[in-house]
Amino acid sequence: MTVTTSERPIEELSRAKRLKALTSATHEGVDRSIMSAASFADLEKYGRFLAVQYLFHRDVAALYEDARLQALFPDLSVRRRLALVAADLADLGFDAPEGSDPVFTADAIDLPMALGWLYVAEGSNMGAALLRKEAAKLGLSDTHGARHLAPAAEGPAPHWRTFTASLDALELTPQEEERAGQGALAAFARVQSLVDARSA
């Protein structure tokens, strides 16, 4: 079956759009699980959502420090959100969760895979606009408890376009392209497993 977005064959789309089409089912699964876990119903459930965000952003933290990736995405180091999630946990009196070792460490970064993971981490800012409104109903804000959901100064859409412009401009071999896709799927699978582990 040929996957299409807006009736165009997937191979004609930009890389970011291809990744979106490739991961749309897994993204929907994550959305559904987070909302059906009532993550914004009370602070205790929100704390579980923060634990997911913390462990996911800890997985990708090394990517934001990688000199090769910083050269490809010039504003990468200001995009990291792990410290903001940690501050949100601290605001609400939660300990940082224990988890398995981070997926990426400084000396073990497969660049094409990393692109797929970064696509997911950066793309999640787009959904954050919606989640920020839910967090506000719990009394949380950009300076207390929901710092990591705050939009970039220039707005989420321009912030995302800067990232996707760099992502789309990269030259990749077909094998590297394939690994970027695997990275994006693995990132969503990781988020799904983190959510599932906390919504028993």
Binding site residues, ligand HEM, CB under 6 A? 16, 20, 27, 30-31, 34-35, 119-120, 123-124, 126-127, 130-131, 191
C-beta contacts of 133-136 below 8 A and 24+ residues apart: 134/39, 134/40, 135/40, 135/46
Which CB sits closer to ligand HEM, 68 or 133?
133
Nearer to ligand HEM, 73 or 119 (CB): 119
Q: Which residue is nearest to ligand HEM (CB)?
A: 123
β partners of residue 9: 4
> What interhelical angle do 156-169 and 15-36 show, nearest 10?
140
Distance in angstroms (rounded) separating the CA atoms of residues 94 and 12: 46
Number of C-beta neighbours around residue 35 at 10 A: 13
Residue 121 CB: number of other CB atoms within 10 A? 23
| Whole-number Å distance between alpha carbons of 148 and 54 | 10
Supply the minimum distance, in Å, between the C-beta of residue 91 and ligand HEM: 19
Closest contact distance (angstroms) between CB of 140 and ligand HEM is 15
Q: How far is the CB of 174 from ligand HEM (least distance, A)?
A: 21
Contact 43, 144 (CB under 8 A): no
Which residue, 18 or 179, has its beta carbon nearer to ligand HEM? Answer: 18
Nearer to ligand HEM, 106 or 157 (CB): 157
The residue among 67 and 137 lying less far from ligand HEM, judged by its C-beta, is 137
Rounded least distance, CB 55 to ligand HEM, Å? 10
**CA dihedral of 11, 169, 148, 39, whole degrees rounded to 10:** 0
